[in-house]
Structures are given as structure tokens and as C-alpha cells.
Amino acid sequence: MHRIQRSKARWIAFFITPGLLVVGLFILLPLFMSLYNSLFSWRQLIRLHFVGLDNFKRLLFTFPYQQRFFNAMKNNLYWFLSTTLIQNSLGLLFGYLLSRNLPGAQFFKRVFFIPVLFSIVAVGFLWGMYLKPSGLVNSFLKLVGLASLQRPWLGLEHLATPSIILVNIWRWVGFPSLVFLAAIDSVPQECLEAAYLEGVGEWKLFWKIIFPLIIPSITIIMVLTIIGSLNVFEQIYTMTGLDGAPNYSTDTIGTLFYRTAFGSIDAGSPEIGIGSAIGLVIYLLTFATSLLSVFVTKRKEVQL
């Protein structure tokens, strides 16, 4: 009996160890290295002396780091709220409509997911071209008689971030759509049939029966939305660059981290200590907000 248990334990360790090594190497080790590096002062790439939390104080209370950091945090929050309200709501709507087996549902299942397969760099580069003053979007507006709506979409502070977010939503909306579709299709048909026999309408059916049963899928999408919103980088980099143009209106903590750690906050020498502090803040925010999201949705699930 003990021999069987030891053999079982060895097989469990055999299958778990590779995953633990990957997590340790690519998640835990960078996390602890960020913490370690953030506690020292640096001269370019040379570690100097221990300074404790001084890099965090400079990040939060010293110009220009304070202004850039909180501006980037505001933009990340804007990304999260916009993605949650627009992308996830559309994904839920599309998933529900596709689950009703409307005409053409099989075709649209594929159409919605195609942009997800595109390279994010290619999408950012192409849409950056389309949104230029002489690009495809303005040319189309002129063609249909809406020349008055033409704008330098990526050149105006109040339009640059919304434009990039809409491109990101266009690319990713197919993912939550299919996740919600799979969740809705897994709802027991007996529940739906009983509701129909009771004369329950579609609206009440969705909110009282379907929605509570797909909360685990909603939790997953919310956590992924939080992680994606806090780590957004490639889309901005390919469409407007690392400087957060125009006038830092598209800057996020991802681009701020890269610019600070590898080229300074204002195009000077690298600031490894402050960059590491920003990286650690990204880790902590991602973990804390993801944990909070899981707690809130699980509590909601229990209440329902």
C-alpha cells in the first residue's frame, strides 16, 4: 500500500514539476528580481547602493515621475472601464444571440473570432495607417459624404486613446463572445424548457436563469480583462509609439515602465530602480484586482 502511494506521489510530482518550474522561472523570479532591483540606486545598468523604498517615494511623490505615473494609471483605468462596458457587454450580447441559433449563426461564430487570430503588431500597424489623416477611415468618411467627421484620430488628445481602445475591442470581442456562447450552451436545457412552459420571456429568462449560471465564465473574462488592461503595451506601441503621444494621452503603466527602465522617463539614461518599482506595482495591481474580481463574482454567485 505504501509502495503504491509513493509511486502515485512520484507520478504527481513528475507532472507538476515542469509547471512549477515555468511559474517560478517566468513569474516568481522576475517578481522577486523587480523587488530586489527596486531597493537599490542605479547608474544606468550598474547597481549601486541600497536605498530601501526611496525609488517608490520618487515614483509616487517626485516630479516628473508622479505626474507620469498617475496619468498612466488613469489611462489604464479608462482602458479597463471601456473594455468592460463595451467589449464584454457586446461579447455577452453576441454570445447570447449566437446561442439562439439565428440564421447565419454558424457563419458569424467564425467571423467574430477571426480578428482574435491576427497578430496584435500587424493589427496595430494597419489600423495606425488607417487612422492617419490621409488614411482609409477619413477617405471612407469623405466617400460617403461625411467629410465633416474627418479627424486626425491619433493626433488629438481626446480621440487617441478611445480610437486605440476601439481597435482593441474590434480585435478581441470575438473571444468573450465565444466564451459566453459556450457557457450559455452548457446551461441545462431542462431549466430553459421549464421556464418557457411557465411563459417566461427572453429578458427574464436571461437575467433570472442564464446569467446566474454563467457567472464562472464572467469571472474568467473579468480577470482576463483586468490583466489585459493593466498590461496593455503592444497596441499602443505599434499605433502611437512609446512616448504616449499626443502629450502622454495614450501613456499606460506598461509604456511608462518600458520608457523608464530602458530609456528614462524623459528620453535620458535608463532608470532601472524606478522601472523595477513600476514593474512591481504592475504585478501587485494585477494580483490584487484579479483577486478582488474573483471574490466579488464568487460572492455574487453564492447570493444568486
The pLDDT value given to residue 263: 74
Report the candidate in 157, 149, 151, 121 with the shortest Cα–Cα distance to residue 134. 151
Mean pLDDT of 137-159: 92
Stronger pLDDT, 293 or 63, i.e. the higher one = 63
Taking the C-alpha atoms of residue 27 and residue 32, their distance in angstroms, rounded to an integer, is 9
Alpha-helical (H) ranges within 24-119 are 29-38, 54-61, 65-82, 89-99, 105-113
Q: Is 40 helix (H, G, I), strand (E, B) or coil?
A: strand
Give residue 302's pLDDT band: very low, low, confident or very high (50, 70, 90): low
Q: Which pLDDT score is estimated for 266? A: 55
Strand, helix or coil for residue 246: coil
> What average pLDDT does the chain have?
87
**Out of 76-80, 131-135, 261-265, which region has the weakest mean confidence (pLDDT)?**
261-265
Other beta carbons within 10 Å of 55: 26
- The closest of 26, 21, 75, 45 to 276, measured between CA atoms, is 45
Examine the pLDDT at 264 and tell me if it is beyond 70: no
pLDDT at 166: 95
User: What number does CATH give the domain 39-303?
Assistant: 1.10.3720.10
Q: Which residue has the higher pLDDT, 294 or 118?
A: 118
**Residue 59 burial (C-beta neighbours within 10 Å; 0-12, 13-18, 19+):** buried
Of the listed ranges 44-48, 178-182, 218-222, 297-301, the one predicted with least confidence: 297-301
